[in-house]
Amino acid sequence: MKTRITEMFGIEHPIIQGGMHYVGFAELAAAVSNAGGLGIITGLTQKTPDLLAEEIARCRTMTDKPFGVNLTFLPTVSRPDYPGYIKAIIDGGVKAVETAGNNPQKWLPMLQEAGVKVIHKCTSVRHALKAQTIGCDAVSVDGFECGGHPGEDDIPNFILLPRAADELNIPFVASGGMADGRSLVAALALGAEGMNMGTRFIATKEAPVHQNVKDAIVAASELDTRLVMRPLRNTERVLRNPAVDRLLEKEAALGKNLRFEDIIEEVAGVYPKIMLEGAMDAGAWSCGMVAGLIHDIPTVKELIDRIMTEAEAIISRLSNIKDR
């Protein structure tokens, strides 16, 4: 399958693995790239630019295929050394960067002059158009279903993707709620040129997270996510657990008076405990509604091959319907 996305990133299949905090290590990025997709290392999970440089080098020992790095510009407790991270990306010869969160304009010249293609992840048509105007090469359009930060507009992909297709000239991938061959064909039908998956890639053999995380995703249904931090305009879709229930109770009790400090115990520094130690109730962690479509833990290659086979079968079945 060839699209502007496969051509832009030099990949075989139009499937991208979105950056994920404490999940997007070299093992997962390399597995996705080796299977023909675009694997992404999560930049800020590496605490310093030097550690990111080491992670990029480690990924190179596991794959000779293209892979990318995610740079997230969200409110964080400490201000990351973005120029240092960008230098590590460029010096490491990485040619794809997924930006997310705030406007990446300031960093585009540095990246693009070094031949890096930038795909900006955004949750609204207006932000996608802005990304196009400032010169991003592509966008990842993340619907309300998505795990992580869906923004504040709450527009699901059945509306968001065709709206993006109507407005954009640069290519885009569909993100949020994508799991299988049906998702890929639907994404293409709605105007995307590929898909980005987060939650689905966590439940794979190679994802370097605790088995408890994978089992929790398989056990979850589409009813089991919750939105937290909405009063702070930093909404995050997470898997429900006792810490999330506690957090939501605080949000309800404090209303507009909620401050980040009130929920720090449930959200700050919880990712290593959950992802690495498997302490599933340690806090709120991102998970998409797509958990309801995830029933197994295949290898990344099995997953991507299955998606492509299923997508091709659907496309041929649809063309048979037309010919009848």
Ligand X SMILES: Cc1cc2nc3c(=O)[nH]c(=O)nc-3n(C[C@H](O)[C@H](O)[C@H](O)COP(=O)(O)O)c2cc1C
List interacting residues with ligand X (CB under 6 A).
Answer: 18-21, 23, 42, 70, 72, 100, 121, 142, 145-148, 175-178, 196-200, 285-288, 290
Residue 2: CB minimum distance to ligand X, A? 23
Residue whose CB is less far from ligand X, 176 or 194: 176
Among residues 116, 160, 153, 148, the alpha carbon closest in space to that of 135 is found at 116
- Shortest Cβ distance from residue 319 to ligand X (Å)? 28
Quick one: 6 or 286, whose CB is closer to ligand X? 286
Q: Output 6 or 99, the one with its CB closest to ligand X.
A: 99
Shortest approach of ligand X to residue 198 CB, angstroms? 2
Q: Which is nearer to ligand X, 19 or 68 (CB)?
A: 19
- State which residue, 140 or 318, has the beta carbon closest to ligand X: 140
In the bound complex, what is the minimum distance in angstroms from residue 121's beta carbon to ligand X?
A: 6
Q: What minimum distance in Å lies between the beta carbon of 209 and ligand X? A: 8
Quick one: tokens of 168? 């954009």
CB of 149 to ligand X, least distance (A): 7
Structure tokens that stand for 308 in this block: 């492509």
95 vs 200 by CB, closer to ligand X? 200
- What's the closest the beta carbon of residue 204 comes to ligand X, in angstroms? 13
- Whether residue 198 contacts residue 147, with contact meaning beta carbons closer than 8 Å, is answered with yes
Q: Toward ligand X, which CB reaches closer, 232 or 253?
A: 232
Question: φ, ψ for residue 271 (rounded to 5)?
Answer: -60, -45
Interatomic CA distance for residues 203 and 201, integer angstroms: 5
Beta-sheet pairing, 225-228 with 236-239: antiparallel
Q: Which is nearer to ligand X, 138 or 256 (CB)?
A: 138
- Residue with smallest beta-carbon separation from ligand X: 198
CA distance 16 to 151: 20
Query: Which of 287, 229, 11 minimizes the C-alpha distance to 138?
Result: 11
Roughly what angle, to the nearest 10 degrees, separates helices 26-34 and 49-62?
40
State the minimum distance, in angstroms, from the CB of residue 200 to ligand X: 6
Cα 24 from Cα 52, distance rounded (Å): 12
